[in-house]
Each structure stands twice: as structure tokens, then as C-alpha cells.
Amino acid sequence: MRPARVGLDARLTRQLSVGMKTYARELVARLPRVAPEFTFVPFARGENFGWDEQLRLPLAIARSRVELVHFLSQYVPAVVPARFVVTIHDLIHLHFPAHFKLKVRPYYETLVRWACSRAARVITDDERTVEDLVSFLGARRSKIRVVPLGVSETFFRAVAPHVAPRPYLLYVGNHRRHKDLATLFAAWSALPPGLKVDLYVTGPDDFGGEVERRSDPTRAIVALGEIRSDELASYYAGASALVYPSLREGFGLPMLEAMAAGCPVLACEDSLPRVLESAALSFKARDVDGLRTLLEQMLTDQGTRERSVNLGREAASRLSWDRCARATADIYREVLE
């Protein structure tokens, strides 16, 4: 009996975030090894929307004779000539529609809702998103499966910590409004003057002069620009803490990467995935005073830091990409049986 053929939507398009691209790359690379009972057929060509997605991709799927397709993001053609599974990482766009373009909400409420209704299974990264899928998109709870993301082996390896002139806190991610960097900037600025600690932020300085206004000779906000993944491990290893003030996340992959690298994590409680809740210090959304208190505790209490590092490494050790790929393949088997 020949192995079942499973198609993988391996397109790495402009619409995908860094975390979504990481997820796609890791699954496409690992599934053939951890699930040899299937033959995998990747579809890597084409963009989202337009003829590539609505015509060329369905034709390629039909010609490939796959028995199941996994769309690794919410970008699903209107017609799919096979059974399919879809991964929807989060519904942040529906939680905060005012933060995004006007056309985004209707897209989710029509095409993504339609994909959820037709999919054999809907995969998501965290338990909290199950309720979002049900309430926002009417997805049937019985066909939703939760598969937490994984962390690359790169972040477990010993690396030389980034050498900086002063201790630093680190934020890793984009600067969209729901990331709530305003709360992080305000809490950092409110630290006692004796705590000379910088704040490093990945990405460009697109804060409209905020960096200059809040920086002084004793501490500064530093926009790092784009950081390669091999450099990122070094920044995690050297940081006093990773701070994640985001109002909502699907999973928040930098939190897991930081834990694997031995970096303590402070995060808004609404952004923490369930599998990492016990390994991070958390604060309420937009709570400047609560975050400032936790920052001061992390920077001055060695016991707090050591406990956070140990709990983080323990949590990260349970979340490999191989485990994520194998759990995903088990869902394929469930559908095909």
C-alpha cells in the first residue's frame, strides 16, 4: 500500500510574519523525517490573493493527486480540489480591527470563515485561540486542534552573550500598535535613576522621535534594525530579560526562543501562551506600574532571575519543532483514517 500523499502550502509570501514563515519552514523541513508514513508534496510558488492563489495553486493541487492539503496559514483558495487542514495562528486582526487596514476584517469574516467551515481540521497554536475561532469565525470546536509551536535547536546552544556597554532589556518583534511598545517605553522610563539599563528593540527607529526624547547619557533606547537568527541567540543570552508587552499573540515565538537561550521573560498576561504561563513573570495589559515593578524586581533580585531562567529552560525543553511536526502529522492521520 503506497503512502498517502499530503500537500503542504510552502509559500513564503509577503503577507506572512516572521513567525509564520518560521513555522512553515520548520514543518516543511521536518515532516518528511518525523512522519515517513506520508509522502509530502510542497507547493512553494505564488503569492497570496490574485490568480496565483485562486487558480494556479488549485490546479497544481489537482495535478499532484494529493489526498490532503495543509494550508500553513489562513490564505486558502476559494476552491480546493482535495480535503484540507488549515492553520490559523491567531485572530489579532479581529480583536483590534482599528489597528489594521479596513479590508482585513471583511477578509477574515468571509474567506477565512469559509475556510474554517470547509476544513477537515483547524489547527491553532494556543488554547486561547480556540475560543476566538469559535466566537469570531463560527468554527466548530470539535474540529479544532491545538499544536504549540517549537523552538530551534540553535537557541539551546551555548553562545557568547552580546557584549554591551550597559545591561539591557530586549524586545523582539514588529512595532504594530497591538504590540503596545508605549507601555514598555513608559515602564522603562519610570525605573529608578540608579538602574542604568538600556532598552534594545529590534527593527528600525520608526517611533517619531520617542527614542531621542526618552534617552539620556545614563540609559538609552536602541533600535537594532534587522537581526539575523544567529545574532538573535547572542542578544537573548546577554539580555537581563525579554519584555513582551503585546496585547495579544498567537504564540509569541520570541518568548519561547528567549527561554531556550536562558533569558528571563516578562510578558503581558494576554500574550502568554498557556504552555509558557508558569515560566514567565506576567503583568496586566497596559499596566505601566505593574511592568515597572517587575522590571525592577528582575534587575535587582538574583533569585527571581535564576528561577525565571530555570523555569524557562524547562518549559522550552518540552517544545521542539520535531514534536510540533509529529503532532501535526497525527492530525493528518486522524483525517485520512
pLDDT in tens, 146-159: 999 999 999 999 99
Q: What is the mean pLDDT of the segment spanning 37-56?
A: 94
Question: Is residue 250 predicted with pLDDT exceeding 80?
Answer: yes
Question: Is residue 37 predicted with pLDDT exceeding 80?
Answer: yes
Q: Where residue 98 falls among pLDDT bands split at 50, 70, 90?
A: confident
The verdict on 158 and 212 lying in the same domain is yes
Supply the pLDDT for residue 28: 98
Q: Where residue 1 falls among pLDDT bands split at 50, 70, 90?
A: confident
Q: Which domain holds residue 310?
A: 153-317
The verdict on 180 and 309 lying in the same domain is yes
The verdict on 176 and 294 lying in the same domain is yes
The verdict on 97 and 216 lying in the same domain is no
The verdict on 178 and 207 lying in the same domain is yes
List phi, psi (to 5°) of 155. -80, -10
Average pLDDT over all residues of the chain: 95
Question: Is residue 41 predicted with pLDDT exceeding 80?
Answer: yes
Give dist(CA 73, CA 262) in Å, integer: 30
The verdict on 182 and 86 lying in the same domain is no
Provide the CATH number for the domain around residue 126: 3.40.50.2000
The verdict on 97 and 27 lying in the same domain is yes
Higher-pLDDT residue of 1 and 279 is 279
Supply the pLDDT for residue 173: 94
pLDDT, tens only, 268-308: 999 999 999 999 999 999 999 999 999 999 999 999 999 99
pLDDT, tens only, 176-191: 999 999 999 999 999 9
Give dist(CA 108, CA 143) in Å, integer: 19
pLDDT, tens only, 67-83: 999 999 999 999 999 99
167, three cell numbers: 545591561
Q: What is the mean pLDDT of the segment spanning 79-100?
A: 93
Check if the beta carbon of residue 175 is closer than 8 Å to that of residue 279: no
Domains contained in the chain, number: 2
The verdict on 127 and 212 lying in the same domain is no
The verdict on 131 and 215 lying in the same domain is no
Question: Is residue 101 predicted with pLDDT exceeding 90?
Answer: no
Give dist(CA 81, CA 55) in Å, integer: 11
Question: Is residue 2 predicted with pLDDT exceeding 90?
Answer: no
Supply the pLDDT for residue 267: 98
Q: What is the mean pLDDT of the segment spanning 229-236?
A: 92
Give dist(CA 324, CA 148) in Å, integer: 7
Question: Is residue 253 predicted with pLDDT exceeding 90?
Answer: yes
The verdict on 20 and 143 lying in the same domain is yes
pLDDT, tens only, 193-216: 999 999 999 999 999 999 999 999
The verdict on 160 and 306 lying in the same domain is yes
The verdict on 140 and 86 lying in the same domain is yes
The H-or-E segment that residue 308 falls in is helix 302-317
